[in-house]
Structure 1
């Protein structure tokens, strides 16, 4: 019973934490609207919704993995997860709006965006943690870490494509020609855009560092759970 109970309990607690972060962000936005009268940062809710998508997909993948779903089903969901994953840390780039929209002190807008961005980042890291564990169980630790680092590197490129050329995850379906054209242009001259290289490297290092912290915290929680199982006799 404990083999099912403790993972479900951890996942429930993690989801509750993420819901709590979303509610805090929504509360700060409500305060700003109440004082200023205009929902100038309403776009943050859409960005946060998109950040929830990879987490929900990861939860579904975890449930299917425990139900021993075939690999092709998990693979198809994994592609969708990877396409939406950049939306989670993307909210970090919304800090460019601090000071650009009048009506509230900069420190408040920084806290407001920080609540959305922090929750979005945690959603992305939590979803990666779930997928990482699933891949590691099925294909081994090396494959799990390759998936983790590789997906964060690709997410950095996705964030760039979203913030600057202004592509979205669904452009893979609605505008594949434009997306492929941009990608091929960069591949034809990989060193021709120093800003892209600097952005991708910096963002990747930051995301990998954040994920390592998340990983070690997750490992600590798992060990505590195992200790509780042993204490109460499974």
Structure 2
């Protein structure tokens, strides 16, 4: 992975870019609400807020790594990060609402949902990039890639659980019995739900492809030099 010589400047630029995407998405929703008199897509604000959570947690992990925090503390924050990570690409599934809510041209609603979905996906991929770099620097490149790909595969299952059985990240605490019951029933008959398998495979493939592009861009922007990307601990 490539070395970033000014990680603070790089993170600041990345965060500002993500904030700009958030502002653009919010602006489109506000225009629609103003023209139609009803904020029918207001739920996208909540979805995008949840998409920011894994990115903020990745920044926290980066800061803890710079302070040489123990591995158990980083792992604890990492578990919470993984629980919230599916919320970022989850917004991609909000395209199911396209054409279902009248009041604006379909092309405008596609642009509106797309702006939220693209920003959410970018937040998730950016957070994964930070965590990937951190794990690779601490444990090794192979482990870094295992964590990255594994996180995307688990996120695909999380997106399914959120869109269809309608679970949330916090159900791990508020409704663990219901969540475990659904998961165990699926594991007991893994081939009994073809749609779940198809959804997980296609979503994982799309997310992995998107992440590989993100990873490649990070290398290009860093100048292609080797050693660890963003070894924030020095």
TM-score, normalisation: structure 1: 0.94
| 1:101 and 2:101 correspond | yes
Match of 1:92 in 2: 92
Distance, in Å, in 2 between the alignment partners of 1:138 and 1:225 is 19
SS at match of 1:38: coil
Q: 1:5: how far off?
A: 6.6
Match of 1:82 in 2: 82
The answer on whether the counterparts of 1:95 and 1:113 sit within 8 Å (CA) in structure 2 is yes
Match of 1:67 in 2: 67
Match of 1:214 in 2: 214
**C-alpha RMSD over aligned residues:** 1.4
| 1:151 and 2:114 correspond | no
Structure of higher RCO (CA pairs closer than 8 Å, 6+ residues apart): 2
The answer on whether the counterparts of 1:6 and 1:225 sit within 8 Å (CA) in structure 2 is no
CA distances 1:82-124 after superposition (whole Å, capped 9, x unpaired) = 0000000000000000000010000000000000000000000
Alignment length (residue pairs): 224
| 1:50 and 2:40 correspond | no
Could you tell me which runs of 5 or more consecutive residues in structure 1 were left unpaired when the two chains were aligned.
Answer: 227-234
Q: 1:4: how far off?
A: 9.0
Distance, in Å, in 2 between the alignment partners of 1:77 and 1:18 is 22
The alpha-carbon distance between structure 1 residues 152 and 49, as it changes in their structure 2 partners (threshold 3 A), is same
Distance, in Å, in 2 between the alignment partners of 1:49 and 1:224 is 33
Match of 2:120 in 1: 120
More helix by share: 1
Could you tell me which runs of 5 or more consecutive residues in structure 2 were left unpaired when the two chains were aligned.
Answer: 227-234
Distance, in Å, in 2 between the alignment partners of 1:60 and 1:224 is 26
Match of 1:198 in 2: 198
